[in-house]
């Protein structure tokens, strides 16, 4: 097999870039002849088509990236297979997608979303995102790199560190976590809640709203929103520094950091919906809070990035799920149980790592990828 992998290359620290890079590296480890290119680099992609002659072009993204990941290689007679996440609905490119022999998606929920919005179920296969299980490992609190993380965040040795990581905190369920912490503050051991977010204009505005909520709830002294840039190098130590990884995301097509937290032997609090039904096991590797609310939309304003004229109003034939909200009461109960019981945290963390190693190691994902292409497209 000769495979060209299209993603945000060279990889930024973001989820889609990491997803693509781990597939690329996993294929190389298997001895597959693979190359990588940026998905929005038409000249470089064409260059690979002409000299590399790939059997398959695999593009990592979502349905709005169809022109870059599918239509561009098809113009040069190259077979394309996308590996997609979902953002709640599929508003365009159904005809292009339905003409494909194979679409890979990151979870059963993503598949259900594509099928609901008109994509043939028989061409969709679920392929989970890989995890670097040799880097995301359990580490002692006394590891100097782990200790340094806690020190830079202002977390004392005797405090329970609850962590959420994302482009912004609210989309990962941080506001629900804050409300839960306010409920149990008088009963829980001493704690610090850290939200690590990515610096960008929309996040700056959301940070202000989140800090206002924390002040309103009276927990602002126990709350840290860290906005600096991070590379992937520090992520294993950031996760190792926490005691509980809490991210009951409002919209999640896989939940890479939740899986990485489990790989570091950290218990996870997530939501009983979407990709977490694939990646987490309630009561064993994570606590999955119930769905308190499902946010539906009847229309959306889309633009050129999604294949429409700018500011196009798209009305859906039936309401689409924009995101979910986890039960604050459930989160509070799960947090309190974990915060009070170190042995429970350890037991769930160990179960989480075992599951990640068995199912989500990036080399296993790459092997599964080659098996799917062999079975579905005859590409060996």
- Average pLDDT over every residue of 175-184: 98
CA nearest neighbour of 191 among 243, 248, 245: 243
Q: In angstroms, rounded to a whole number, what is the distance separating the alpha carbons of residues 254 and 220?
A: 30
pLDDT value, residue 356: 98
If one counts the domains in the chain, the total is 2
**Tokens 């989480």 — which residue?**
352
Residue 193 and residue 50 share a domain: no
Q: What's the pLDDT at 73?
A: 98
User: Percent of the chain having pLDDT more than 70?
Assistant: 100
Task: Give the mean model confidence (pLDDT) for residues 290-310.
Answer: 87
Query: For residue 355, how far is the Cα from the chain centroid?
Result: 17
| SS3 (DSSP) at 355 | helix
* Shared domain check, 184 and 97: no
Q: Is residue 137 part of a domain?
A: no
pLDDT at residue number 369: 98
pLDDT at 77 over 90: yes
- Grade residue 128 by pLDDT with cuts at 50, 70 and 90: very high
What average pLDDT does this structure show over 170-191? 97
Structure tokens at 330: 């459930």
Does position 314 have pLDDT exceeding 90, yes or no?
A: no
Inside any domain, residue 270: yes
Query: Per the domain annotation, does 139 fall within a domain?
Result: no
Asked if residue 85 belongs to a domain, the reply is yes
Which DSSP string do the residues of 79-126 spell out, in sequence order? -EEEEE--SS---S-HHHHHTSS-EEESSHHHHHHHHHTT--GGGEEE
Q: Measured between alpha carbons, how far is 302 from 169 in angstroms, rounded to an integer?
A: 24
Residues 169 and 116 in one domain: no
Mean of the per-residue pLDDT values of the chain: 95
**pLDDT at position 312:** 84
Tell me if 135 is assigned to some domain.
Answer: no
Domain contains 319: yes
Q: Provide CB contacts within 8 A for 169, sequence distance 6+.
A: 175, 195, 197, 206, 207, 210, 225
5-18 pLDDT per residue, tens: 999 999 998 999 99
Judged against a pLDDT cut of 80, whether residue 305 lies above it is answered with no
Q: What is the pLDDT of residue 309?
A: 83
Same domain, 123 and 151: no
Do 221 and 274 share a domain, yes or no? Answer: yes
Q: Which of 211, 143, 145, 132 is nearest to 178 (CA)?
A: 211
The per-residue DSSP string of 203-267 comes to HHHHHHHHHHHHHHHT-GGGEEEE-S---TTTHHHHHHH-SEEE---SS-SS-HHHHHHHHTT--
Distances (CA, A) of 138 to 20, 68, 240, 243: 25, 38, 6, 11
Q: Are 55 and 2 in contact (CB under 8 A)?
A: yes
Q: Read off the pLDDT band of 229 (50, 70, 90).
A: confident
**Judgement on whether residues 212 and 331 belong to the same structural domain of the protein:** yes
Q: Are residues 30 and 161 in the same domain?
A: no
Confidence band of 69 (pLDDT split at 50, 70, 90): very high
Same domain, 328 and 370: no
> What pLDDT does 89 receive?
82
How many residues does this entry show for the chain?
380
Contact by Cβ (8 Å): 189, 160: yes
Q: Within this chain, do residues 83 and 112 fall inside the same structural domain, yes or no?
A: yes
pLDDT at position 86 over 80: yes
Task: Give the confidence band of 253 by pLDDT, cuts at 50, 70, 90.
Answer: very high
Six token digits for residue 135: 């880097």
Residues 55 and 68 in one domain: yes
CA neighbours within 13 Å on the CB side: how many for 338? 31
Q: How far apart are CA 35 and CA 22, in angstroms?
A: 13
Q: Is residue 353 part of a domain?
A: yes
> What CATH number does the domain containing 160 carry?
3.40.50.2000
In a domain, 81, yes or no: yes
CA–CA gap between residue 36 and residue 59 (Å, rounded): 10
Look at residue 316 in the predicted model and tell me its pLDDT: 82
CB 237 within 8 A of CB 149: yes
Q: Which two tokens stand for residue 215?
A: 């002040």
Whether a cis peptide bond, with omega within 30° of 0, leads into 10 is yes
Shared-domain flag, residues 76 and 215: no
Please write the tens of the pLDDT for every residue from 91-121.
Answer: 889 999 999 999 999 999 999 999 999 999 9
Separation between Cα atoms, residue 176 and residue 344, nearest integer Å: 23
Q: How confident is the model at residue 245 (pLDDT cuts 50, 70, 90)?
A: very high
Average of per-residue pLDDT across 153-167: 96
Expressed as residue numbers, the domain containing 318 is 144-359
Model confidence band, residue 304 (pLDDT cutoffs 50, 70, 90): confident
Query: Are 162 and 76 within one domain?
Result: no
| Residues whose CB is less than 8 angstroms from the CB of residue 312 and which lie 6 or more positions away in sequence, other chains included | 301, 302, 303
């Amino acid at each position: 097999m000769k495979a060209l992998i299209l993603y945000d290359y060279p990889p930024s620290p973001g989820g889609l870039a990491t997803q693509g890079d781990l597939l690329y590296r996993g294929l190389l480890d298997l001895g597959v002849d693979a190359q990588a290119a940026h998905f929005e680099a038409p000249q470089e992609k064409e260059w690979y088509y002409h000299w590399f002659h790939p059997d398959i072009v695999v593009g990592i993204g979502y349905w709005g990236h169809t022109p870059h990941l599918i239509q561009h290689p098809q113009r040069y007679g190259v077979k394309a297979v996308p590996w997609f996440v979902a953002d709640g609905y599929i508003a365009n490119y159904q005809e292009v997608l339905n003409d494909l022999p194979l679409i890979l998606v990151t979870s059963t929920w993503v598949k259900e979303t594509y099928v609901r919005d008109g994509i043939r179920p028989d061409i969709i296969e679920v392929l989970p995102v890989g995890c670097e299980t040799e880097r995301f490992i359990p580490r002692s609190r006394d590891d100097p790199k782990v200790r340094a993380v806690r020190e830079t965040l202002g977390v004392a040795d005797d405090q329970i560190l609850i962590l959420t990581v994302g482009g912004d905190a609210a989309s990962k369920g941080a506001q629900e976590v804050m409300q839960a912490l306010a409920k149990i503050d008088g009963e829980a051991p001493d704690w610090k809640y850290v939200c690590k977010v990515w610096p960008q204009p929309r996040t700056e505005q959301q940070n202000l709203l989140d800090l206002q909520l924390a002040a309103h709830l009276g927990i602002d002294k126990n709350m840290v929103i860290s906005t600096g840039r991070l590379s992937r190098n520090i992520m294993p130590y950031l996760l190792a520094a926490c005691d509980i990884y809490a991210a009951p995301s409002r919209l999640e097509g896989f939940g890479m950091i939740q899986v990485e937290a489990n790989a570091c032997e950290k218990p996870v609090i997530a939501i009983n919906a979407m990709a977490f039904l694939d990646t987490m096991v309630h009561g064993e590797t994570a606590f999955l809070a119930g769905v308190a609310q499902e946010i539906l939309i009847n229309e959306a304003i889309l633009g050129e990035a999604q294949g429409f004229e700018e500011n196009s109003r798209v009305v859906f034939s039936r309401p689409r799920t924009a995101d979910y909200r986890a039960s604050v009461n459930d989160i509070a109960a799960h947090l309190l149980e974990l915060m009070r019981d170190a042995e429970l945290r350890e037991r769930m963390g160990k179960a989480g790592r075992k599951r990640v190693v068995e199912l989500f190691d990036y080399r296993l994902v790459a092997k599964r990828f080659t098996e799917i292409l062999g079975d579905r497209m005859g590409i060996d």
